[in-house]
Amino acid sequence: MKLPWPSPSRLTNADRNLNLDIRLDGSLVKTVLALLMILFATASFAQTPPATAFAPGCGTADTKFDVATNDKQHPFAKRDAGKALIYLLQDDSDFLSRPRPTTRFGLDGNWIGATQSNSYFYISVDPGEHHLCGEWQSFVGFGVAHKSAAAHFTADAGETYFFIVRDHYSEHRGPAGISFSPLDSDEAQLLMSKLGFSTSRPKK
């Protein structure tokens, strides 16, 4: 059975107004929903701040070290079974001023030791990815471009790794700075034969 449906010509003004109201109400609902979705997305974004960049190797700013350096000792340690060994060197041959910096070294967010003026030390680590940081722990008395640097590497058991901090300053070449990079094993041992050996402990 076919229900009768008024043709457009038989619609009254009231019918036409009702049909128009329905269409307008539908458009209004869509607009409101779109605005609500935008507001919800904005609120969600505001509640989730972006991550902050940082150096994962460095420790907290309040840790300082007392450092003793023996210029007559140049130890080259044996690796522990199942471990890797890292040598950390400080080269001040391009730092043409005094006093030279004391550099603290960080591993995976903790300071592990420090060197002072052309010296080195070593530490045993577990295999896996590690983050390193080198930072001057004290101000050296003039303009500084960078006083910290960082690197990361993946350690394999039974392997030895060498990293070096190179400090630089010359009154004719701008402010002081620091760089941190891996070092060839032969070059490292050549340098270590001339550098002192540093031992350090946190200041109380």
pLDDT tens digits for range 73-121: 999 998 899 999 999 999 999 998 888 899 999 999 999 999 999 999 9
Alpha-carbon gap, residue 28 to 19, rounded angstroms:
14
For residue 4, the model assigns a pLDDT of 52
Going by CATH, does the domain composed of 65-202 fall within 2.60.40? Answer: yes
The residues, any chain, with a CB within 8 Å of residue 30's CB and separated by 6 or more, are none
Over residues 25-44, mean pLDDT: 60
**Distances 31 to 23, 35, 38, 126, 151 between C-alpha atoms, Å:** 13, 6, 11, 59, 52
What are the tokens at 99?
């006093």
Alpha-carbon gap, residue 171 to 113, rounded angstroms:
29
pTM for this model (two decimals)? 0.73
What are the tokens at 86?
């890292």
Query: Residue ranges of the domains in the chain?
Result: 11-47, 65-202
pLDDT tens digits for range 156-166: 999 999 999 99
The residues, any chain, with a CB within 8 Å of residue 11's CB and separated by 6 or more, are 19
